[in-house]
Chain A
Amino acid sequence: MNQKNDIAVQVSGLAKNYGAVQALRGVDLTIGAGEYFVLLGPSGGGKTTLLRLLGGFIRPTAGQILLHGRDVSEQPPNRRPTSMVFQSFALFPHMTVAQNVGYGLRLRRLPKAEIAARVDAMLEMVGLKDLADRMPHALSGGQQQRVQLGRSLVLEADILLLDEPLAALDAKLRKDMCLELKHLQEQIGITFVHVTHNQEEAMTVADNMAIIADGVLVETGTAQDLYENPQARFTADFIGENNIFDGRVSGLTGSGVEIDLGFAKFTVDAQGQTPRVSDMVSVSIRSELVRVLGPGEAPEALLQTVPATYGEAVYLGLATSHVAKLANGDNIVARHVSRGGTSDDFEAEAPLTYAWPRTQMRLHLS
Chain B
Amino acid sequence: MGDDYTRLWTYRLKWLYTLLVVFTLMLPVFYVIYISFNQNGFGARDYVFTFEWYSGIFTDLLLMNALGNTMLLAAITTVLAVPLGLIAAKFYKATGTDRAKLLTVSLLLSPLFVPADILGSALLVFFKNLNIACATAGEWLGVSWFETWFELGYFSALVGLIIYTIPYIFVVILITMGRYKEQQSEAARSCGATAWQAFYQIEFPQIRAGVFSACAFTVILSFNEYTRTSLLKGGYDTITSVLISQMLNEGMSEQSYAMSSLISFIAIAVIGSIIIYTLVHTDRLEREARAKAQPVMSS
A residues lining the B interface (CB < 8 Å): 55-57, 76-78, 82-84, 86-94, 103-104, 107-108, 135-144, 148, 151-152, 155, 161, 168-170, 173
Contact = CB atoms under 8 A, between A and B. Distances in A.
B287 A137 contact: yes
Nearest to B293: A89
B183 A86 contact: yes
Interface string B199-220: 0011001100000000000000
Contacts of A148: 187
A88 B194 CA distance: 22
11 contacts: A77-B189, A78-B189, A78-B194, A88-B183, A90-B183, A103-B201, A140-B296, A140-B299, A144-B295, A152-B191, A173-B297
Contacts of A77: 186, 189-190
B194 A137 contact: no
Nearest to B296: A140
A84 B185 CA distance: 12
A51 B193 CA distance: 19
B287 to A, nearest CB: 7
Contact of B295 (A55, A103, A141): A141
A92 B202 contact: yes
Contacts of B28: none
Nearest to A82: B190
Given A89-B292, A90-B186, A140-B295, 16 more contacts: A57-B189, A76-B194, A78-B191, A83-B190, A83-B191, A84-B190, A91-B184, A92-B187, A104-B191, A104-B193, A137-B288, A140-B297, A140-B299, A152-B191, A170-B297, A173-B297
Given A76-B195, A94-B206, A137-B288, A88 B189 contact: no
B184 A89 contact: yes
B298 A151 contact: no
Contacts of A89: 181, 183-184, 292, 295
A15 B240 CA distance: 60
A155 B192 contact: yes
Contacts of A142: 298-299
Contacts of B297: 140-141, 168-170, 173
Contacts of B183: 86-90
B26 interface: no
Given A90-B181, A140-B298, A103 B188 contact: yes
B279 interface: no
Interface of B: 181, 183-184, 186-195, 197, 201-202, 205-206, 287-288, 291-292, 295-299
A139 B190 contact: no
Contacts of B206: 93-94
Top 7 closest pairs, chain A to chain B, by CB: A137-B291, A104-B191, A77-B189, A142-B299, A84-B190, A90-B183, A89-B181
Nearest to A83: B190
Contacts of A84: 186-187, 190
Contacts of A91: 184, 187
Contacts of B197: 107
Nearest to A76: B189
Contact of A78 (B181, B193, B292): B193
A152 B192 CA distance: 10
A189 B187 CA distance: 22
Contacts of A103: 188, 191, 193, 201
B291 A155 contact: no
Contact of B191 (A57, A107, A168, A170): A107
Contacts of B184: 89-93
A30 B229 CA distance: 65
Nearest to B295: A141
Given A94-B205, A143-B299, A173-B298, A151 B191 contact: yes
A104 B192 contact: yes
B50 to A, nearest CB: 51
Contacts of B191: 78, 83, 103-104, 107, 151-152, 155
Contacts of A76: 189, 194-195
B295 A168 contact: yes
A55 B298 contact: no
Nearest to B189: A77
Nearest to A89: B181
A280 to B, nearest CB: 39
Contacts of B189: 56-57, 76-78
A90 B298 contact: no
A52 B191 CA distance: 14
A142 B295 CA distance: 9
Nearest to B288: A137
B94 to A, nearest CB: 13
B299 A173 contact: yes
Contact of A90 (B187, B288, B299): B187
